[in-house]
Amino acid sequence: MKITVMTADEHILTLEVDRDESVENLKALLEVEQLLYSGKEMRNAEKLSALGINDGDLVMMVSHAASSASTNDLSFNPDGSAVNPAAFQQHIRRDPNMMAQLFQTDPELAQALLENGLDRLQDLLRERHRQRSHLRRQQDEELALLYADPFDVEAQKKIEAAIRQVLTRTGQPHLKHNPEGFARVVMLYVDMEVNGVPLKAFVDSGAQSTIISKSCAERCGLLRLLDQRYKGIAHGVGQSEILGRIHVAPIKIGNIFYPCSFLVLDSPNMEFLFGLDMLRKHQCIIDLKENVLRVGGGEVSVPFLQEKDIPSRFLDEERYSKKASSSGDPAPSGPKESTDIPTRGHSSGSSRGDSMQGPDFEAKVAKLVELGFARDAVIQALKFFDGNEEQAAGYLFGG
């Protein structure tokens, strides 16, 4: 760890030391007879860890001539307040480097040192002392749990509580810098027309074919164009019957018409999915910076819909598309013959649904169940976040 050392002539040094280093060795390294931490003399036989010194803490060197006066002036009461707050305040004020460091690490305390009154300074020193004491108690309790009886129910409850606290603490910086990782991510929808009927299309570059449901095709007047020779079964998360293919129909994006072909599925949970085949054919660009779908190499741009503009029933399409989307066309076959079609970009026939089962998925479930969550809730959270363990844990803790 690194500690900050203020020399007797008020210069600042930064030293890399071992947490279990003895005070005696640190004095020898600094060639000094006396060191102070929190206003108290550090004794030779003590180790830095035993004194509660952590990364970035301040240690003060004291010259032999000034040691007696400095110890008294800069020492602290048992509650953390300064014995001589005026001397402590002036001592820190005189060091511009120390003040600059305090403004970075503890601006509230730095501001109190610049004020004329001493009451606020004393209150803050007491508060910092309470915080350090609480942290040390927590560390001691966590250390004690390492040696706890694994069959002691109370000990296990404390271990569970400690794990929750660690996850909460470690999650804070992620929540601050990556808030999107802890929130629902709305999928991409755009307004378009299919054969003159307005629709909200789910844009999914992970779906290899464009899909339309039977009910939606009927509403758009396209069932008469259905080629039933292309019947089959789409396998993914579950399976869905492919009723056939519509080889060409007009879709309108922006103010331009484009020819489009679809697979028609007997799928009440999914309406229209604009897949990779048509995205490629019409040279589409998913521009997330401008939040638009560019079609025809950029000749048309349509905005992605905000969550408030997407019907709530459509949000289930995000999951259903994993089942409905297919990677290619089945070979023409007899009207009763079904064909297995690989899904979601894997020519081998596997899908993202594979991540929702098997030993890896069960290992994630077991790990989150051990934290005290119900198995059904864990499975639901993992499925919701496509198997992402960290996002599922954040969701469960947030709930």
Beta bridge partners of 245: 227, 263
Q: Which of 140, 152, 204, 340 is flagged as catalytic?
A: 204
Residues 306 and 90: their CA atoms lie apart, in Å, by: 57
Which letter does DSSP use for residue 202 in this model? E
CB 18, CB 29: distance < 8 Å: no
Question: Is residue 239 classed exposed, middle or buried when 0-12, 13-18 and 19+ CB atoms within 10 A define those classes?
Answer: middle
Which letter does DSSP use for residue 266 in this model? -
Which letter does DSSP use for residue 43 in this model? P
Residues 320 and 199: their CA atoms lie apart, in Å, by: 18
How many Å separate Cα 198 from the centre of its chain?
A: 37
H and E: helices and strands count for the chain: 13, 16
Question: Is residue 2 classed exposed, middle or buried when 0-12, 13-18 and 19+ CB atoms within 10 A define those classes?
Answer: exposed
Q: If DSSP codes are grouped into helix, strand and coil, which group holds residue 369?
A: helix
The residue behind tokens 């300064």 is 82
Active site residue 9: no
Q: If DSSP codes are grouped into helix, strand and coil, which group holds residue 80?
A: coil
Residues involved in catalysis: 204
